[in-house]
Chain A
Amino acid sequence: MNIPSNLLYTKDHEWARLEGDIAIIGITDYAQGELGDVVFVELPQVGNQVTKGQAFGTIEAVKAVSDLFAPFSGEIVAINNELENAPETINTSPYENGWMIKIKVSDPSEKADLVSPDEYKNLVGEA
């Protein structure tokens, strides 16, 4: 299982990559594997406000539907429009082409609630 060392993680299996005050968000390799084939993704609109820990969208896979939770509060500054026509990108490239949203982070201290790659590894039972 792929758990890149340059990312931060949530216990809900999202990842976040910080570039200045922008956080890029997606779901982890573990999450896409558990969900199986992703067929639809519902994302918020650019300009929407999201709140840490609250649902910002849904991901629909053949096996199950799941909410997506925001790791940071802030404003949506970009969404990945490619996922509209190619949702399976989340399965094939969860950390790169399968990114979902970019949040302009309003409170950088929220970062403290995310977990490190090592902690996430423990969480999903990867030795």
Chain B
Amino acid sequence: MSADKGCCCGCDDKKTALYDIHAALGGKIVPFAGYLMPIQYPKGIVAEHRRVRSTVGVFDVSHMGEFEFRGPDAAAFLNWITINDVSKLAVGQAQYSAFCYPDGGMVDDLLVYRFPDHYLMVVNAANLPKDRDWVEKHLPTSGVQFTDRSDEFSLLAIQGPKAKDLLSKLTTVNLDSLDYYHLTEGQVAGRPGIVARTGYTGELGYEVMVKNAFAVQLWQAIFEAGKPFEVEPIGLGARDTLRLEMKYCLYGNDIDATTNPLEAGLGWITKLDKGDFMGKAAIQAVKAAGLTRKLVGFEVLGKGLPRHGTPILKEGKLVGVTTSGNYSPMLDRGIGLGYVPVELSSIGTELELDLRGRVLPLRLVKTPFYQPHVA
């Protein structure tokens, strides 16, 4: 046995406000994006995954970054530096978007939340310093006030078919009128917070943001209220398998500075019909020339799991590479995402994986791999 433990001392890593709780619950702590985070708890990734798909699970995602934008030109600036159309965003709405480089490569994917008097952006923890530099480098000299509030907020994701039943016991927010990709401010567990109907699992779910000082109280209230639903804590491992079953992109795996949003299947957030924005000319050129490759979903026909970087072959010849791969607990087989040439990207196409010298067949399938039953 020679498993890579992928662990180091982590002395310089930060802790979220809930670190002691994760450790007390027996969470396996690993350094991730500058934080010490639980990758799994004692029941393991597969059980945690099934808990979210069957009732409800809770994730500490406080490592994510939060940027605040205020001022008369905040909307115009955000519309220029992100690829989705911020002008379409109503107060109380959230939008999935991205930063692109001038060449169309991706800086990060992110969420923009619109409040009555400001915007809040949630960015990937692993990209936080890079994103902050990116924003500061392009910020106009006046008209926009930018504040990095990442160290002030804790973010908990409550995800699963029973998420609403659980959260409704704790909040003054009327969850019946909170639509998908909408948010509101309200009391949660007796403290002020932000409740957004967003998530990274495909399930009915919410992300709740509170000041760090209220995080432990909120966590405890969630687990008390969640007892009837057998609520469990969920680590980063199951967060990854859950998002993979939905074909949600993970920055650093499926998208990065070398991928453009169109080939990543993110054309739906790339608003080429709005005004000028960072990366627009390059993305337009890509669209005019036609895509050469596409991000596809596949299932493994046989016993083996693809990983990031697994070669994809056609009749023994290298044609692509896996960007994400793992075991799907719901399908009980290996699944993955990868870039393949457009002419090999139709559903049903059979290719091969080179798993450390062992060749296994794969088949391109419709995504998401799994369809949650969202009420």
Interface residues of A (CB under 8 A from B): 12-14, 27-28, 31, 34-37, 39-40, 42, 59-69, 88, 91
Contacts and interface: CB of A to CB of B under 8 A. Distances in A.
Interface string B39-50: 110001111000
Contacts of B6: 64
B2 interface: yes
B1 interface: yes
B305 A40 contact: yes
B2 A66 contact: yes
Contacts of B44: 36-37, 62, 91
A36 B305 contact: no
A40 B46 CA distance: 13
B237 interface: yes
24 contacts: A12-B1, A12-B2, A34-B3, A34-B5, A35-B3, A36-B237, A39-B46, A39-B305, A40-B304, A60-B304, A60-B327, A62-B44, A62-B45, A62-B46, A62-B237, A62-B327, A63-B39, A63-B45, A64-B4, A65-B307, A65-B356, A66-B1, A66-B3, A67-B1
Contact of B1 (A37, A42, A59): A59
A67 B2 CA distance: 6
Nearest to A28: B1
A61 B2 CA distance: 12
Main secondary structure of the interface of B (DSSP, over half): loop
B248 to A, nearest CB: 18
B1 A64 contact: no
Interface string B280-314: 00000000000000000000000111010000000
Q: Which 5 A-B pairs have the closest CB atoms?
A: A13-B1, A37-B46, A40-B303, A66-B3, A39-B327
Contacts of B93: none
B324 to A, nearest CB: 13
Interface in B116-153: none
B259 interface: no
A71 B45 CA distance: 30
A91 to B, nearest CB: 7
A61 B4 CA distance: 12
Interface string B350-368: 0000001000000000000
Given A36-B40, A37-B45, A39-B327, A60 B305 contact: yes
Of B2, B40, B304, most buried by chain A (CB within 10 Å of CB) is: B2
Contacts of A27: 1
Nearest to A34: B3
Most chain A beta-carbon neighbours within 10 Å: one of B39, B40, B327: B327
Contacts of A37: 44-47, 327
A100 to B, nearest CB: 11
Contacts of A28: 1
Given A34-B5, A36-B45, A69-B1, 4 more contacts: A36-B40, A60-B305, A67-B2, A68-B1
B358 to A, nearest CB: 8
B198 interface: no
Most buried by B among A39, A68, A69: A39
B95 interface: no
B241 interface: yes
Contacts of B237: 36, 62-63
B322 to A, nearest CB: 13
Nearest to A14: B1
A114 B40 CA distance: 31
B270 interface: no
A64 B241 contact: no
Nearest to B45: A62
B326 interface: yes
